[in-house]
């Protein structure tokens, strides 16, 4: 499985494209459809996974769905409201208005998704938003805005809660220390470097 990091939008959000056997998964397509589309390099996305519903992580979803109608948009059941409302996904204050995104699959903690023979595990990590999740696959964690290199997610936006984030970080602390963390902004790190 190949992991491509594509930095998108004015907030420098990390979109990740996973490619295996000409199939792809896109995680957090925040903006810049053309850039993400070129990163697919001909691979066909079957899943668009959202770690949470803030506009800088979902801004290119509509364009991708228009191009790849079979791709399923997957988000926590608790963050669906953010896909629909600009005042909740913060796009009213951003550089692009984002609303009315459809969710095809509602995710819950512990769900397992199949990607070209690899299993992607959904890990519920509320705190940054009510429905924040991480995705774990093959020793890698895509942490969205829950955990960064040298920092954790903010909790002062709609749906944020510091007590929930603390519990989520405790959950992540149980992962192998060598787990590679690909965050929603900034550079990769490891669980051991951040939570040991």
Q: Distance between CA atoms of 130 and 188, rounded to whole angstroms? A: 24
pLDDT of the chain, 196 residues: tens digit per residue: 999 999 999 999 999 999 999 999 999 999 999 999 999 999 999 999 999 999 999 999 999 999 999 999 999 999 999 999 999 999 988 878 999 999 999 999 999 999 999 999 999 999 999 999 999 999 999 999 999 999 999 999 999 999 999 999 999 999 999 999 999 999 999 999 999 8
End-to-end CA distance of the chain: give it in Å, rounded: 27
- Alpha-helix residue ranges (DSSP H) falling in the chain: 33-40, 55-58, 61-67, 80-84, 86-89, 162-173, 191-195
What is the per-residue pLDDT for 137?
98
pTM of the model: 0.97
What is the per-residue pLDDT for 196?
82
Q: Distance between CA atoms of 177 and 163, rounded to whole angstroms? A: 23
CA angle 87, 161, 183 (to 5 degrees): 80
The token pair that represents 53 in the structure block: 């519903």
Q: Which of these CATH numbers, 3.40.50.970, 3.20.10.10, 3.40.50.2020, 3.60.15.10, describes 2-195?
A: 3.60.15.10
CA angle 177, 182, 186 (to 5 degrees): 120
The token pair that represents 194 in the structure block: 């951040």
Q: Are strands 72-76 and 23-27 parallel, antiparallel or unpaired?
A: unpaired
- Residues constituting the chain: 196
Q: Distance between CA atoms of 113 and 166, rounded to whole angstroms? A: 26
């Amino acid at each position: 499985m190949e992991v491509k990091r594509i930095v998108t939008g004015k907030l420098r959000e990390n979109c990740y494209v996973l490619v295996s056997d000409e199939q792809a998964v896109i995680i957090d397509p925040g903006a810049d459809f053309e850039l993400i589309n070129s990163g697919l390099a001909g691979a066909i996305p079957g899943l668009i996974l959202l770690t949470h519903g803030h506009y800088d992580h979902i801004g290119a979803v509509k364009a991708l769905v228009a191009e790849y109608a079979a791709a399923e948009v997957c988000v926590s059941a608790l963050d669906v409201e953010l896909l629909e409302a600009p005042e909740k996904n913060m796009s009213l204050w951003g550089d692009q208005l984002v609303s009315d995104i459809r969710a095809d699959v509602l995710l819950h903690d512990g769900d397992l998704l199949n990607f070209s023979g690899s299993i992607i595990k959904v890990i519920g990590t509320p705190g940054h938003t009510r429905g924040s999740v991480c995705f774990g696959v093959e020793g890698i964690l895509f942490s969205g805005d829950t955990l960064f290199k040298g920092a954790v997610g903010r909790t002062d936006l709609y749906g944020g809660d510091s007590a929930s984030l603390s519990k989520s970080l405790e959950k992540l602390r149980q992962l192998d220390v060598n787990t590679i963390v690909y965050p929603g902004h900034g550079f990769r790190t490891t669980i051991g470097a951040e939570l040991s």
